[in-house]
Copies of this chain bind each other. A is one copy, B any other.
Amino acid sequence: MDKLEKTLESRTVRPTAMRLLVLKFLLQKKVAVSLTNIEEYFDNSERTTLYRTLKTFEENGIVHQIDDGTGTIKYAVCEENCNCELEQDLHLHFYCNNCDETVCLTEYKIPHINLPEGYLAENVNLVIKGLCEKCSGH
């Protein structure tokens, strides 16, 4: 629990009870979660508080948003050396059509893409959809 507190404090985020619980939850999940996921997990919790908790986390580099194309935003804890603030590097995301889970494939980087003359890239988002290892049957 102490480690969680330190994580928050090192990012100048006050370690309230709720924030610690949310962070713990996010860390133990290996997949990206939506606001609704968290809301369901903490049974009678305030959606707004969770929403703002995630927002605070995001603003302070604790989590990053993932748009996996399902329409709802997912969140995942930033890696040690996650440079998502740089709007670059950006590993890719995999969404499973079967189990409806989204994972960060942090080891898998997005290859460099050539753009037409005049286009300036600031951010890249690559989502692959298909079957994850659990659901593909091999």
Give the oligomeric copy count.
2
Q: Is A123 an interface residue (CB 8 A)?
A: yes
A116: chain B residues at CB < 8 Å are 105, 107-108, 133
The complex places the Cα of A127 from the Cα of B123 at a distance, in Å, of 8
Q: Is A113 an interface residue (CB 8 A)?
A: yes
The answer to whether B115 and A122 have CB atoms under 8 Å apart is no
Give A30-69 as 1s and 0s: 1 = Cβ < 8 Å from B's Cβ atoms. 0000000000000000000000000000000000000101
A111: chain B residues at CB < 8 Å are 111, 113
CB proximity to B under 8 Å, residues A90-128: 92, 94, 97, 105, 107-108, 110-111, 113-128
A132: chain B residues at CB < 8 Å are 118-119
Shortest Cβ distance from residue A50 to the other chain B in the assembled complex, whole angstroms? 19
The answer to whether B129 and A123 have CB atoms under 8 Å apart is yes
Shortest Cβ distance from residue A130 to the other chain B in the assembled complex, whole angstroms? 4
